[in-house]
Chains A and B, each alone.
Chain A
Amino acid sequence: MKNISLLVLLAPFLFACEQVIDVDLNESDPQVVIEARLEAGQHDFEVLISETTSYFSNETAVYRNDAQVRLLDNVGGMIEVPLESNGRYRTSVNAISGQTYTLEVSLNDKTYMASAEVPQEVVLDELEAEFREAFGPFDEGYQVFLRFADNGERRNYYRQIHAIDGVFELAGEDLQVTDDNLFDGSERARLPIFQRIFDPGVSITVVLQHIDKNSFDYLNSLADIIGEDGGPNGGSAAPGNPTTNWDGDILGYFGAIATDTLQIDLPE
């Protein structure tokens, strides 16, 4: 809900002007970033290890190819994840819903660990499209809603990703995650793709991810940091690094997901 940019309210009043400016930023020491997502079922499992760069740098990212990566399950199994190329470590894993996996990365004489529980499979039942007249900064078009059933026996977390005519949207405000606080146990939960009105005639692909709590904590705090909440400075009440489940002083996260995908062709 906080994604509804409050500046929308003021649009008719503002005489705003935007310009790209030069800001002198401090250089920090490079920091290790490790990201990995384990998907329920038999899928490729990829671990990406990189380092931070200076903010305005145009150089390609620095990747770390010198790590040892292992995935452990909670019944004594262990899988080595070998380096593929450019900081990417990859192998195929059959992840079982309900099991907790631990990712162990040895780098710079230290070992970092993070755990994640693989969520249950999720079914995206239906996509609904509703026509909207022009509104504030939005032209007329369609708003798209996801329909799915939520398990009322436990706290669930979701992320939605969408593509327009096959091209995935990755802007800050397209990072949309939610917990089931507002629709716990609903047979037909209905979530909009927030802040997006789609042109008639396009095809929208929606991926619904059932995500674990670690992923939610990371992505939700990330959305708060990079989102545009409307207050001065983009609006985060607490700008900081996103909440990570790594036990050491590094960035990124290790999450687990289950996904389902649907597509809808909007009327002309």
Chain B
Amino acid sequence: MYKTILFSLLLMPLCLWSQNQKVTISGYIKDGATGEDLIGATALVTDLDGVGTTTNIYGFYSLTMPAGEHKVAFQYLGYQVKVLELNLSEDTQLDVELSPDSQVLAEVVVTAEKADQNITETRGSVTKIDVREIEAIPVLFGERDVMKVVQLNPGIKSAGEGNSGFYVRGGGLDQNLILLDEAPVYNPSHLLGFFSVFNSDALKDVTVYKGGMAAEYGGRTSSVMDIRMKDGNSKKFSGQGGIGLISSRLTLEGPIVQDKGSFIVSGRRTYADLFTGLSSDPGIQNTTLYFYDLNLKANYRLGEKDRLFLSGYFGRDKFGFSDDFGFDWGNATGTLRWNHLFSNKLFSNTSIIYSNYDYEFGFGQGDDEIALQSVIEDWNFKQDFTLFPNDKNTVKFGVNWIVHNLEPGNLRAGVNSGFTIEDAEEKLSHEAAIYVQNEQKISDRLTANYGLRYSFFDYRGAGTAYEFDEVGNLLSETRFEEGESIQTYSGFEPRLSATYLLNTTSSLKLGYNRNYQYIHLLSNATSSTPTDVWVPSSNNVEPQIADQVSLGYFRNFKDNMYETSVEIYYKDMQNVIDYRNGANIFLNEEIEGDLVYGDGRAYGAEFYIKKTQGRLTGWFSYTLSRTLRRFDEINGGEEFPARQDRIHDFAIVAMYDLSPKVKLSANFVFNTGDAVTFPSGRYTVDGVVTPYYTERNGYRMPNYHRLDLGLTWLRKKTEKFESSWNFSLYNAYGRENAFSIDFAPSEDDPQTTEAVQLALFKWVPSFTYNFKF
């Protein structure tokens, strides 16, 4: 461990402060039409080789150069380049607004980055989603979904048919840190995973870090999906919306005070329940089923140096049947942020973040009632600093303190219910981290981002620690009082990513990261469900640890028209969690006795070709990979493939501008079937035909493939109003992809056994009407 620290310290450059005779320009780069801050826009001193910078997540940049006359170019793809001639003798604050390129129609998809950013960017293993692309790609029920577009990229795999969950490079579903304006979202899906909670109308930037993530991120072992909401139009009042088959959406945004502050309100609600009443089937008539999302955000500039942001998300699924049964679940998050400039070289962000996920269900009324509520609640304090000491270094450092409060089950039982239950014990834990990282231009060709994160976890009383024997029988219980520490863990998490430019069109990228994860998701089923249980690390459950190395070659062709990359990775996972047979996750205080701990590894190669310009745009991605797990208690201690071990996984996405008004799109996906456990024999005990299993995940589901088609027709476009129709066909050739294969006695003849395949969606057409004003 000391070697790790020493190594990191040695890497820290000692020359950070040794510059003089220099001036700094700093400020924000914004969209001239809406006032939205542009994330990742570049400022380049054209007369000095290699002096440039990009804006941070708040649109802020700081650029240091020798005093004198310079030309500085500000650019962002899809916007007109602005070149300013500056005569600089002292530090200057300079906010720049870029105009959207009039040559580029809003419907034409362009990458929102500098043309060769994929080559020069320090970080490999990053997937940036252009929010505008989401509109064109056909999806299930026509519901635009950023999480489904993410799945079409290399190294990221869908959790299943129509599902918005995803696996990154062999990690689990719970190992993705999904952040909405910095707030973690614990259950990012509606309706058992078929729709994500993210309404793409309200989103500005979506970035997924598959590896080599910077030290500022922590808490999950596999990936970070950083989603930023729009700040709202600070120039004029505007809106957009859509009416679709499943849901309708409306977004309104505008200035609070022109150029000083803005707001955005975005809502979505499904209305399947309006139709259930029309059904002739009484079972459907009595059913309530809907979900909604509400995104709110406001920001205000208090002065030149201070800016406040307040953002929130509220979403809920509601399901019920008359008065007899109700079940609803949802997330609520809130983020209060304060940006402050201590100087033109020191940017500070302070965030207070709240995140809540809960589900509640109940049967019956009054004396018969039984109801249960389960809550996950996080309070999170973050302080981040960005320091721009000179034109070669950008240093970030900060602290983060999260209080997790898990209430597994608060129960309410009527006198007639026969239940004698008490609330399950709350689980309180503190997760803290401190980090420092530096992005350094070591030479014209070599850039590195290196950092170190130290994380600390404390599982605290009041609570009970359980001790189990080797087979999971309870041995003893120890009671801890409030404020007492039950178990602590901590660890150093070194991070590195480096880019070496081979020439102007190609680069090599290296990444390494170690990540700790202190809270863990337990799920009865193989996909995300509302009743998922999170548990903190404890005396039994050790933190999960992942180490990953990746190496990539990036090359652009034809003046950046084609972006290509090949990346290979190897990931080692410790303390991964699985279950004993028959594990009972639901309201089980002794659940830890049902868990087993092992290790895993994942490795693979990812290939990517993207065409960014022209009438035909799109990409091809192919991942060749393996994901393996090993547990002493499972499969006789032999290594076995994880469920998501899909060896071949590829996707083609194509968008074609048939005319300025009509755009066609298609995507095709193919992947090897999931690894599954099928029986190798059968026997009958107690009249029940029982499958006999000999190995874990020794079989494969059938290969999965599907083609989706889409058409966007721009009906009307004026300065004031724009409307379009979107038609899509999911699973165009009606492939019956296996959602599940069940082995069971035949219903006709219980003495014989059969395998029954369930396929979910065969040809799902849908349409949406969208408008903007």
Contacts and interface: CB of A to CB of B under 8 A. Distances in A.
A189 interface: yes
B433 to A, nearest CB: 30
Interface stretch (B535-543, B651-659, B740-748): B740-748
Contact of A226 (B418, B687, B690, B754): B690
Given A21-B756, A232-B526, A238-B579, A9 B191 contact: yes
A255 to B, nearest CB: 9
A134 B685 contact: no
B71 interface: no
B679 to A, nearest CB: 5
A74 interface: no
B289 A25 contact: no
B690 A13 contact: no
A232 B418 CA distance: 34
A238 B686 contact: no
Contacts of B764: 15
A156 interface: no
Interface string B569-609: 00000000011111111111000000000000000000000
Q: Which residue, A22, A30, A55, A224, has most C-beta atoms of chain B within 10 A?
A: A55
A238 B583 contact: yes
Interface residues of A, number: 88
B581 A238 contact: yes
A18 B756 contact: yes
Contact of B688 (A14, A147, A175, A243): A175
A227 to B, nearest CB: 10
Nearest to A20: B754
A251 B588 contact: no
Contact of A15 (B687, B755, B756, B761): B761
Interface string A24-66: 0111101101010100000000000011111111100100000
A147 B368 CA distance: 13
Interface string A207-247: 00000000001001111111011111111011111110000
A241 B742 contact: no
Interface in A128-155: 132-140, 147, 152
A133 B322 contact: yes
Contacts of A137: 283
A217 B582 contact: yes
A172 B686 CA distance: 12
B681 interface: yes
A65 B744 CA distance: 28
A26 B680 contact: yes
Interface in B730-773: 736, 739-744, 750-762, 764
A14 B692 contact: no
A140 B321 CA distance: 12
Given A28-B692, A138-B283, A52 B683 contact: yes
A11 B281 CA distance: 12
Contact of A184 (B284, B420, B758): B420
Nearest to A148: B418
A75 interface: no
B272 interface: yes
A192 to B, nearest CB: 9
A183 B587 CA distance: 13
B589 to A, nearest CB: 8
B246 to A, nearest CB: 9
Interface stretch (B110-118, B508-516, B670-678): B670-678
Contacts of B276: 12
Interface residues of B, number: 90
A10 B582 contact: no
Nearest to B589: A181
A52 B690 CA distance: 10
A253 B682 CA distance: 15
Contacts of A88: none
B693 A241 contact: yes
A231 B527 contact: yes
Q: Which residue, B287, B582, B762, has most C-beta atoms of chain A within 10 A?
A: B582
A35 B686 contact: yes
B698 interface: yes
A51 B683 contact: yes
Contacts of A9: 191-192, 289, 319, 327
Nearest to B694: A28
Contact of B420 (A27, A139, A186): A186
Nearest to B594: A238
B420 A133 contact: no
Given A15-B764, A20-B754, A136-B283, A61 B683 contact: yes
A28 B581 CA distance: 21
Contacts of A20: 754-757
Interface string B631-674: 00010000000000000000000000000000000000000001
B525 interface: yes
A252 interface: yes
Interface string A1-15: 110001001111111
B687 A232 contact: no
Contacts of B322: 133, 135
A13 B680 contact: no
A196 interface: no
Contact of B526 (A37, A231, A243): A231
B524 interface: yes
A90 interface: no
B324 A132 contact: yes
Contacts of A28: 680-681, 692, 694
Contact of A133 (B194, B282, B698, B739): B282
Nearest to A241: B693
Contacts of B578: 237-238
A56 B745 CA distance: 10
B286 interface: yes
Contacts of B421: 181-183
Interface string A165-190: 00010101001000001111110111
Nearest to A21: B757
Contacts of B287: 12, 135-136
A23 B674 CA distance: 15
Interface string B544-584: 00000000000000000000000000000000001111111
Contact of B684 (A50, A175, A229, A237): A50
A13 B192 CA distance: 12
A108 interface: no
Given A33-B685, A183-B419, A134 B680 contact: no
B682 A52 contact: yes
Contacts of A252: 683, 685
B167 to A, nearest CB: 13
B581 A61 contact: no
Interface string B259-282: 000000000000010001001011
B55 interface: no
Contacts of B713: none
Given A2-B524, A9-B192, A20-B754, A242 B581 contact: yes
Q: Which residue, B418, B524, B687, has most C-beta atoms of chain A within 10 A?
A: B418
A234 B759 CA distance: 13
A129 B440 CA distance: 73
A189 B761 CA distance: 42
B529 interface: yes
Given A182-B419, A242-B581, 5 more contacts: A133-B324, A170-B687, A190-B418, A226-B688, A233-B741
Interface of B: 160-161, 191-192, 194, 272, 276, 279, 281-287, 289, 319, 321-322, 324-325, 327, 416-421, 523-527, 529, 578-588, 634, 674, 676-688, 690-694, 696, 698-699, 701, 736, 739-744, 750-762, 764
8 A-B pairs closest in CB distance: A221-B582, A231-B525, A190-B418, A134-B282, A52-B681, A28-B680, A134-B283, A239-B677
22 contacts: A6-B192, A15-B762, A17-B759, A18-B759, A20-B755, A26-B694, A26-B698, A28-B680, A31-B683, A55-B682, A56-B754, A135-B283, A136-B321, A183-B419, A183-B420, A186-B418, A222-B685, A222-B688, A226-B690, A235-B526, A241-B581, A242-B582
